[in-house]
Amino acid sequence: MSTPQKTILRALAGETLPTPPIWMMRQAGRYLPEYRATREQAGDFLSLCYNPDLAAEVTLQPIRRFGFDAAILFADILLVPQALGLDLAFEAGEGPRLSTITTRDDLARLKPVEAIHDTLSPVYETVRILSGALPPETTLIGFAGAPWTVATYMIAGRGTPDQGPAHALKAADRPLFDAILDRLTLATIDYLSRQVQAGAEVVKIFDSWAGSLRGDDFHAYALEPARRITAALKARHPGLPVIAFPRGAGERFAGTHAATGADCIALDDGVAPEWAAAQVQTGGCVQGNLASAHLVSGGPALVEDTRRVVRAFAHGPHIFNLGHGITPDASIDNVHRMIDTVRGA
Which element (helix H / strand E) includes 12? Answer: helix 7-12
Mean per-residue pLDDT, 324-343: 98
pLDDT of residue 300: 98
What's the rounded mean pLDDT across residues 208-220? Answer: 98
Q: What CA–CA distance (Å, rounded) separates 162 from 179?
A: 22
Given 31, 39, 50, 305, which residue is catalytic? 39
Question: Is 310:20 a contact under the CB 8 Å cutoff?
Answer: yes
Determine the Cα–Cα distance for residues 256 and 244; give it in Å rounded to an integer: 9
**Mean of the per-residue pLDDT values of the chain:** 97
> Any bridge partners for residue 242, and if so which?
203
Residue 269 designated active-site: no
Domains in the chain with CATH codes: 7-342 (3.20.20.210)
Catalytic annotation, pick one of 31, 35, 50, 153? 153
76 is catalytic: yes
The helix, strand and coil proportions of the chain, stated in percent and rounded to the nearest 5, come to 55, 15, 35
Q: pLDDT per residue over 161-202, tens digit each?
A: 999 999 999 999 999 999 999 999 999 999 999 999 999 999
What length is written for the chain? 345
Tally of CB atoms within 10 A around 197: 13
* Burial degree of 98 (CB within 10 A; 0-12, 13-18, 19+): buried
Strand, coil or helix: what is 8? helix
Q: Where are the alpha helices (DSSP H) in 50-163?
A: 52-66, 79-83, 104-109, 117-133, 147-156
Query: Which residue is catalytic, options 10, 30, 36, 97?
Result: 30
Average pLDDT over residues 198-226: 98
Closest CA to 107 of 144, 151, 160, 167: 151
Look at residue 2 and tell me whether its pLDDT is greater than 50: no
pLDDT of residue 3: 46
What are the tens digits of pLDDT across the range 55-87?
A: 999 999 999 999 999 999 999 999 999 999 999
What's residue 4's pLDDT?
55
Q: What is the pLDDT of residue 92?
A: 77
Beta strands in the chain (DSSP E): 70-72, 88-91, 95-98, 139-145, 202-207, 242-246, 264-266, 285-290, 318-322
Catalytic residue status for 124: no
Label residue 255 exposed, middle or buried (CB < 10 Å: 0-12, 13-18, 19+).
Answer: middle
Task: Summarize pLDDT for 98-141 with one digit per residue, the tens.
Answer: 999 999 999 999 999 999 999 999 999 999 999 999 999 999 99
Full-model pTM: 0.97
Q: Which of 69, 76, 207, 268 is catalytic?
A: 76
Strand partners, 290: 322
* Residue 308 known to be catalytic: no
Instruction: State the Cα–Cα distance between residues 32 and 65, nearest whole angstrom.
Output: 10
| pLDDT > 80? residue 93 | no
Q: Using CA atoms, how far apart are residues 148 and 92, in angstroms rounded to an integer?
A: 25
- Per the annotation, the verdict on 216 as an active-site residue is no
